[in-house]
């Protein structure tokens, strides 16, 4: 009865129900007696005859009978019937071929030596074929120092291009536009595009990202580009750490950051409460030459990215509101370049060439070429 309830009431559904052996659906009973029960014969048959079909019940038999009478499929001739049979055979053959190919791929994947690369398959949205393609192209995670380097390797970032010519309505195109970079392996990029569509439904972190980008009214392809980059970050994380994908990782990290922001880093209290005025050299000896603790959360909130760039004599190329563009001061880009983007309001930056990005404190560290603690004190 479960099979009959799931069959759609369409001419093609009639044919599948009555002319394809039920063994194809995993039930395993002989239905040769009903192989000729096409929609045409259903329309001419009596209800008692239709009820002889296995797993048929009166309510469905009546629906099938009435639908067959009103359907154009009851006028099907022998030629059309043979064409439908040939098409169905082709469909089932293609399905069988796909299953055989999938079995071969799984065997090849399982034959790989054990290693952290197998963790990729645990990410929601990345199937066996995508995981195999990523491993084949990446070979070793040690080739990539950061997740940004991995994203750049497959070209999952926007690229600025000069716009020329005319639009469809005849108006000239002005200025520049952004599109997905064309570098990277085409097969992996296509598989990641499909994986991003699946991850947007089943991967919690990607699903949140997709919803956030959609709320900003961004185009669908742009949103999927962000999702593809997110998947590559997850690939880098599970492979480099040799850990399975954790659905709650993003939530845990967010809670930890909120707790640190609210409480602040731990500060070592001095052993003595006595306040004295001493020479700076004495203080250095007391702390063994080390800097005292610093509240990075407070320092970060007071640091302006515009001040950081001004202190390093950065010259902006173009500006649009709070967004600035110009040469990258980190990798010393061309003076005419515009790969380095700054958002003064958000206090963030990113370079589409060297893939460096972050907040004002991150930029200060990158430009000073010192540790986070030394850059903050400097």
* pLDDT tens figures, 290-334: 555 666 666 667 778 888 888 878 877 777 778 888 888 887 765
Residue 219 CB-half CA count within 13 A: 6
For 149-176, what is the mean pLDDT? 75
* pLDDT tens figures, 178-206: 667 777 788 888 999 999 999 999 998 89
- pLDDT tier for residue 378 given thresholds of 50, 70 and 90: low
> How many angstroms separate the CA atoms of 119 and 117, rounded?
5
Q: Tell me the sheet residues that pair with 158.
A: 180
Residue 372 has pLDDT above 70, yes or no: no
Could you state, in order of their start, the residue ranges of all structural domains in the chain? 2-76, 116-161+176-241, 294-377
The share of the chain scoring above pLDDT 90, in percent, equals 10
What pLDDT score was predicted for residue 200? 92
What pLDDT score was predicted for residue 177? 65
Mean pLDDT of the chain: 75
Query: What CATH number has the domain spanning 294-377?
Result: 3.90.580.10
Range of weakest confidence among 123-127, 278-282, 333-337:
278-282
Range of weakest confidence among 29-43, 45-59, 165-179:
29-43
What pLDDT score was predicted for residue 229? 92
> How many angstroms separate the CA atoms of 114 and 151, rounded?
25
Among candidate residues 44, 43, 36, 51, the one with its CA nearest the CA of residue 70: 43
Backbone angles phi, psi at 158, to 5 degrees: -70, 150
- pLDDT tier for residue 50 given thresholds of 50, 70 and 90: confident
Q: Which residue has the higher pLDDT, 291 or 149?
A: 149
Residues near 81 by beta carbon (within 8 Å), at least 6 away in sequence: 38
Q: Tokens at residue 251, please?
A: 């939530």
Q: What pTM did the predictor assign?
A: 0.47
Among candidate residues 308, 358, 314, the one with its CA nearest the CA of residue 332: 314
Residue 77 has pLDDT above 70, yes or no: no
- pLDDT tier for residue 283 given thresholds of 50, 70 and 90: very low
Residue 19 has pLDDT above 60, yes or no: no
What pLDDT score was predicted for residue 345? 83
Residue 135 has pLDDT above 60, yes or no: yes
Residue 338 has pLDDT above 80, yes or no: no
By the 8 A CB rule, do 122 and 100 touch?
no
- pLDDT tier for residue 236 given thresholds of 50, 70 and 90: very high
The share of the chain scoring above pLDDT 70, in percent, equals 70
Q: Tokens at residue 220, please?
A: 């669908």
Q: Tokens at residue 224, please?
A: 């999927």
> How many angstroms separate the CA atoms of 207 and 80, rounded?
46
Residue 28 has pLDDT above 70, yes or no: no
What pLDDT score was predicted for residue 211? 92
DSSP class per residue in 191-244:
HHHHHHHHHHHH-HHHHHHHHHHHHTT--HHHHHHHHHHHHHHHHHHHHHHT--
What pLDDT score was predicted for residue 234? 92
For 202-213, what is the mean pLDDT? 90
């Amino acid at each position: 009865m479960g099979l009959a309830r799931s069959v759609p009431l369409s001419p093609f559904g009639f044919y599948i129900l009555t002319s394809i052996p039920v063994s194809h659906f995993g039930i395993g009973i002989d239905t040769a007696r009903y192989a000729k029960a096409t929609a045409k014969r259903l329309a001419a048959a009596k209800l008692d005859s239709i009820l002889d079909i296995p797993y048929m019940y009166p309510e469905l038999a009546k629906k099938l009978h009435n639908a067959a009478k009103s359907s154009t499929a009851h006028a099907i001739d022998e030629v059309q019937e043979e064409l439908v049979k040939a098409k169905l055979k082709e469909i089932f053959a293609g399905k069988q071929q796909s299953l055989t190919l999938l079995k071969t791929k799984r065997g090849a994947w399982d034959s790989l030596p054990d290693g952290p690369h197998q963790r990729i398959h645990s990410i929601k949205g990345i199937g066996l074929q995508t995981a195999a393609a990523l491993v084949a192209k990446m070979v070793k995670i040690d080739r990539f120092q950061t997740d940004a380097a991995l994203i750049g390797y497959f070209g999952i970032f926007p690229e600025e291009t000069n716009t020329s010519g005319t639009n469809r309505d005849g108006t000239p195109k002005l200025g520049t536009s952004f599109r997905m970079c064309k570098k990277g392996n085409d097969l992996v990029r296509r598989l990641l595009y499909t994986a991003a569509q699946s991850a947007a439904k089943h991967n919690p972190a990607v699903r949140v990202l997709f919803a956030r980008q959609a709320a900003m009214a961004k185009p669908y392809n742009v949103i999927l580009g962000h999702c593809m980059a997110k998947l590559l970050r997850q690939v880098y994380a599970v492979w480099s750490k040799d850990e399975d994908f954790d659905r709650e990782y993003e939530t845990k990290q967010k809670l930890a950051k909120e707790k640190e922001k609210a409480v602040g880093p731990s500060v070592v209290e001095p052993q003595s409460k006595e306040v004295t005025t001493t020479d700076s050299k004495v203080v250095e000896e007391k702390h063994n030459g080390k800097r005292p603790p610093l509240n990075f959360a407070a320092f970060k909130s007071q640091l302006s990215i515009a001040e950081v760039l001004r202190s390093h004599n950065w010259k902006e190329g173009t500006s649009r509101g709070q967004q600035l563009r110009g040469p990258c001061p980190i990798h010393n880009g061309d003076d005419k370049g515009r790969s380095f983007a700054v958002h003064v309001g958000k206090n963030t930056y990113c370079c589409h060439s060297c893939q460096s990005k972050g907040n004002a404190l991150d930029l200060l560290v990158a430009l000073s070429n010192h540790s986070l603690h030394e850059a903050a004190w400097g």
